[in-house]
Amino acid sequence: MENLVVYSGTATPDLAKQVAEFLNVHLIDAEISKFADGETHLQIKETVRGADAFLIQSTCPPVNDNLMELLIAIDAFKRASAKRITAVIPYYGYARQDRKDKPRVPITAKLVADLLTTAGANRVMTIDLHAGQVQGFFNIPVDELPGSFVLLDYISKLKIENLTVVSPDVGGIKIARNYARRLGVPLAVVDKRRPAANLSEVMNVIGDIEGRNLLIPDDMVSTAGTLCNAAIALKAKGALEIISAATHPVFSGSAFEKIQSSPIKQLFTSNTIPVDKDKIIDKIKVVSVGELIAKAIDCIHNDKSVGKIF
């Protein structure tokens, strides 16, 4: 494709390679290294003057290092005279800090948006933001791709009978409703209540789940506490097989151990964040979003509607 260049940061190299293969282009040659004090050094080894540049880099753990590397890459492409720079951020870190929920705390999602814009990004592409209002923190175009569509496509092919979609908490109802609508199945909600500060949560379920197979969706799995607690409560209330779907595999703390010991039969996730192959368990199935990103890049580069691919 004329004037199209794709760059990969160090956070998601396998995903970037898949995107480049779908687009039939090569990844731009760049040298990324660290100085002795930890500073990141980056040099683009090819000319990108006048190019439509797409920089692929998730701001996943280590979040600060990957975010800083992305900012440096944007600055390098800007100073190398790229015509347009799109920051492709499959997982947008700091999206959970989207409002002041306590006194004297920052709105870090807005800070990151400002940093990306100031660095020189002309556009941002991301997948399944934790909070949709983060799009409004930018004064440049933002394309939020629905990674859930990739997971839904995979799950629908399983043809699970007697299925109900269950939101693991009240905050996840919007995501669960989208899954239920696309699959054409009923919706239920886990209502978590803590009677007192030092008492365990009481799980109430709104909806019929007894004797049914369940799908618990979410935008991410971090510690897996909410997900696994919901699965345990649902199993105790008569659920049959339980599967889950989450776009972003953060998997922090003892997430793998919790999932392994939980009633969850299978967890479907994506490669917006690389999953450690030495730690991954059989219950986890990783589905690639490489083709989704590639299609969106093709639409943007050729001035076509991104929405048409969904």
User: Any idea which residues carry the catalytic annotation?
Assistant: 192
Which residues make Cβ contacts (< 8 Å) with residue 88, sequence separation at least 6? 19, 54, 55, 56, 57, 125, 126, 293, 297
Distance CA 294, CA 220 (A): 22
In angstroms, the first-to-last Cα distance of the chain is 22
Name the nearest CA neighbour of 247 among 110, 155, 157, 122: 155
Burial (CB count <10 Å: 0-12, 13-18, 19+), residue 283: middle
Contact in structure between 213 and 164 (CB atoms under 8 Å): yes
- The type of residue at 134 is V
Inter-residue contact 271 to 12 (CB < 8 Å): yes
Q: How far is CA 286 from the centre of its chain?
A: 12
d(CA 267, CA 259): 8
Q: Render the burial of 213-240: b for 16+ CB within 10 Å, e for the rest.
A: bbbbbbbbbbebebbbbbbbbbbeeebb
Q: Which residue has the tokens 């007192």?
A: 196
Say whether the peptide bond before residue 62 is cis (omega within 30 degrees of 0).
yes
Q: Amino acid identity of 238?
A: G
138, 143, 130: which is closest to 113 by C-alpha?
138
What are 285's two structure tokens?
């199935």
